[in-house]
């Protein structure tokens, strides 16, 4: 592990299991912020907004590394004005086996991974050598606590937001064996209702993880997302709904996604991108993550910055062309203030960083200082 990385202990400890992180985290500067036990105070007048809710700066952490209210509260105290509560489900759901995170090392000189590149199928080197600019792979399987546990905790998380800060709940539907499509749609609506009961002001529905089977993403079926969004909207009424999307290469498919959701008045924004799927190999070319069905895993961090920016600009172009109004939350490879600025230029209304924030607890403060 390089010296540089060792000095900045990630608030989610990749050397511990998900369960240990859930029980004992956050770590590093986030843990210190919690121990200080101070309120998140802000002298700022909210100048920005997220889905119509005023916030100091529409920058924060997307669904994933903030496992519970201790993590989200620490994020608020570290100046991240948007803290997304890791995607919850209608039922308890186990985590993939440890390890869940590895460092990845794309071949290109600038460390980027382009969607469609042969390297994604040939194999990307993955190990425990974390370097800057940071790129990792994460393989969790979207674990969730039972609603009896996450509902009261999400309530606490919402209450801990300081002035000009917003807790953003993430949720998704669960596909279980023998379920009909109608039951699958209904599970999304049920989960959205459970989230709304916690007092959520906004919510993000995840359609970007392989919940449709091995490497099959819900967001690749825009018409089904449209039907699900309608069922969710019937349940949550006026609460603004954002849909989390993976990288969608085809403009026609992306436009169909917008029309079947925003066009029908059910969705107010998109958060994009999630990880880019790659075959991960060790130095000997063998499967890097142990276990069946884990030959491929999602890459995030610096490597996917270009892909995230591309999705955001293409969504912004569709917004312009269609005359439909929706918010764009830019995610993917934001590790410096310059990356934040690039997303804003590409048309993002708000920006979030998962990997970058994990390895740099001061990222929000650095971005604020750069403005």
Ligand X SMILES: Cc1cc2nc3c(=O)[nH]c(=O)nc-3n(C[C@H](O)[C@H](O)[C@H](O)COP(=O)(O)O)c2cc1C
Beta carbon of residue 334, minimum distance to ligand X (angstroms, whole number): 5
Q: Return the number of the residue (46 or 150) whose C-beta is nearest ligand X.
A: 150
d(CA 247, CA 314): 11
d(CA 281, CA 297): 10
Beta carbon of residue 274, minimum distance to ligand X (angstroms, whole number): 4
Residue 44: closest CA among 33, 58, 34, 29: 58
**Helices 251-261 and 305-322, packing angle to 10 deg:** 60
d(CA 197, CA 181): 25
**Any idea which residue has 């403005």 for tokens?**
371
Q: Return the number of the residue (29 or 334) whose C-beta is nearest ligand X.
A: 334
Beta carbon of residue 301, minimum distance to ligand X (angstroms, whole number): 5
Q: Could you check whether the bond before residue 46 is cis, i.e. omega within 30 degrees of 0?
A: no
Beta carbon of residue 289, minimum distance to ligand X (angstroms, whole number): 14
Which residues contribute to the site for ligand X (CB under 6 A)? Answer: 12, 62-65, 86-87, 138, 140, 142, 170, 206, 208-209, 244, 274-275, 300-301, 304, 331-334, 353-356
d(CA 314, CA 319): 9
Beta carbon of residue 21, minimum distance to ligand X (angstroms, whole number): 9
Q: Return the number of the residue (46 or 112) whose C-beta is nearest ligand X.
A: 112
Q: Return the number of the residue (46 or 205) whose C-beta is nearest ligand X.
A: 205
Q: Return the number of the residue (140 or 150) whose C-beta is nearest ligand X.
A: 140
Beta carbon of residue 86, minimum distance to ligand X (angstroms, whole number): 5
Q: Return the number of the residue (236 or 309) whose C-beta is nearest ligand X.
A: 309
Please enumerate in sequence order all residues whose Cβ is within 8 A of that of 159, keeping only pairs 6 or more positions apart, or say none.
Answer: none
Residue ranges in 204-336 assigned as alpha helix (H): 222-236, 251-261, 305-322
């Amino acid at each position: 592990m390089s010296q540089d990385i060792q000095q900045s202990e990630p608030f989610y400890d990749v050397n511990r299991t998900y369960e240990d992180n859930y029980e004992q985290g956050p770590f590093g500067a986030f843990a210190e912020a919690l121990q200080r036990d101070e309120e998140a105070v802000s002298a700022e007048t909210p100048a920005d907004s997220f889905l119509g809710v005023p916030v100091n700066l529409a920058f924060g952490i997307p669904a994933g590394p903030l496992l519970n209210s201790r993590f989200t509260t620490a994020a608020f105290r570290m100046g991240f004005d948007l803290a997304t509560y890791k995607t919850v489900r209608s039922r308890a759901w186990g985590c993939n086996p440890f390890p869940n995170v590895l460092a990845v090392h794309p071949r290109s000189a600038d460390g980027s991974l382009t969607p469609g590149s042969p390297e994604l199928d040939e194999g990307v080197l993955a190990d425990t050598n974390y370097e800057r600019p940071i790129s990792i792979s994460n393989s969790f399987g979207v674990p969730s606590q039972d609603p009896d546990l996450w509902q009261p905790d999400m309530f606490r998380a919402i209450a801990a937001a300081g002035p000009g800060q917003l807790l953003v709940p993430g949720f998704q539907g669960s596909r279980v064996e023998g379920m009909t499509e109608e039951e699958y749609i209904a599970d999304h609506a049920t989960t959205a209702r459970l989230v709304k009961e916690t007092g959520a002001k906004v919510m993000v529905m995840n359609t970007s993880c392989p919940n449709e089977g091995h490497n099959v993403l819900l967001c690749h079926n825009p018409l089904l997302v449209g039907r699900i969004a309608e069922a969710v909207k019937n349940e949550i009424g006026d609460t603004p709904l954002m849909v989390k999307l993976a990288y969608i290469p085809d403009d026609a498919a992306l436009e169909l996604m917008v029309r079947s959701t925003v066009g029908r008045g059910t969705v107010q924004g998109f958060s994009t991108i999630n990880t880019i799927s790659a075959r991960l190999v060790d130095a000997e070319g063998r499967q890097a993550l142990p276990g069946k069905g884990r030959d491929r895993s999602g890459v995030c961090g610096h490597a996917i910055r270009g892909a995230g920016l591309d999705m955001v600009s293409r969504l912004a172009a569709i917004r312009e062309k269609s005359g439909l109004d929706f918010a764009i939350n830019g995610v993917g490879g934001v590790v410096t203030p310059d990356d934040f600025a690039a997303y804003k230029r590409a048309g993002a209304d708000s920006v979030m960083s998962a990997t970058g924030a994990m390895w740099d607890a001061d990222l929000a403060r650095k971005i604020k200082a750069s403005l």
